[in-house]
Amino acid sequence: MATFALIHGGGGSAWDWHLLEPELRDRGHDAVAVSLPVEDESAGLLDYADAVVAAVGGRRDLVVVAHSWGGFVGPLVCARTPADLLVLVTAMIPAPGEPPSGWWGNTGFGSKDMSDPIGLFLHDVPKDVAEELLTRSRNHAGKAMGEPWPLEAWPDVPTRFLLCRDDRFFTPDFMRGVVRDRLGITPDEIDGGHAPMLARPKELADRLEGYLTGRS
């Protein structure tokens, strides 16, 4: 049995994982979804990581799963508590000293029309779930967005990247390049858009479990 620590993306909360958690538990695993203190003006990136570590407690056989903006937090968790695996799900990959606010320009992300968040992020998520997610969106305080990523190097933990082939925000061609340049690996791929934990929770759970069994 593994413990999956589930780290949400920008503006999200633990609720983002509510469809994936039972899928993992049905497979005999534990799942801990954490709401990062994103609205706390005093909280920095290490505080975010500490919130995850505290929620995990003494659980062992830890798999850290970080979605989207949570890519800035997942490696910090792995540097602060023993983890067997880090899985980045269509996530930002930080570089040492890089603030989250600098990632966009440093990677050449460009700009996106944000006027239709469902069409951009949630086009394959059931309508009622997508609408509920938007009502739960939270604003990020500035400290963690602007402070340098504190690690000097990537943590010494096996890392997988799961790319979403139909992602309209972090598009596949763009992210393949980022993964190659920053991690030096080839990403794994799954069908669907930017939020597979809400659109394809069973398939995502199969992939995550497959990393443990060698089927992925």
Residue 203 to residue 196: CA distance in whole angstroms: 8
Query: Residue 215 has what pLDDT?
Result: 63
The pTM of the full predicted model, rounded to 2 decimals, is: 0.97
pLDDT number for residue 144: 96
Q: Please report, for the domain that includes residue 87, its CATH number.
A: 3.40.50.1820
2-21 average pLDDT score: 98
The length of the chain is: 216
For 59, the domain range is 3-213
CA–CA distance, 16 with 30 (Å, rounded to integer): 16
| Element at 121 (helix H, strand E) | helix 117-121
Report the pLDDT value the prediction gives residue 87, as an integer from 0 to 100: 98
Q: What sections of 38-171 are H helices per DSSP?
A: 45-56, 74-80, 100-107, 117-121, 127-135, 142-146
Quote the pLDDT of residue 211: 96
Q: pLDDT tens, 33-44?
A: 999 999 999 999
**pLDDT tops 80 at residue 138:** yes
Q: Which residue has the higher pLDDT, 1 or 9?
A: 9
**What one-character DSSP code corresponds to residue 101?**
H
Q: Read off the pLDDT band of 216 (50, 70, 90).
A: low
The arithmetic mean of pLDDT across residues 140-153, rounded, is 96
Phi, psi of 33 (to 5 degrees): -100, 135
Give the closest residue to 194 by CA, choosing from 118, 136, 135.
Answer: 118
- In order of 26, 34, 117, 127, the CA distances from 47 in angstroms are 31, 13, 28, 33
Q: Is the pLDDT of residue 76 over 70?
A: yes
How many distinct structural domains can be found in the chain?
A: 1
> Which helix (H) or strand (E) covers residue 163, if one does?
strand 159-164
Query: What mean pLDDT is reported for the chain?
Result: 97
What pLDDT score was predicted for residue 214?
A: 80
For residue 116, which amino acid is it?
A: D
Angle made by CA atoms 160, 35, 30, in degrees to the nearest 5: 55
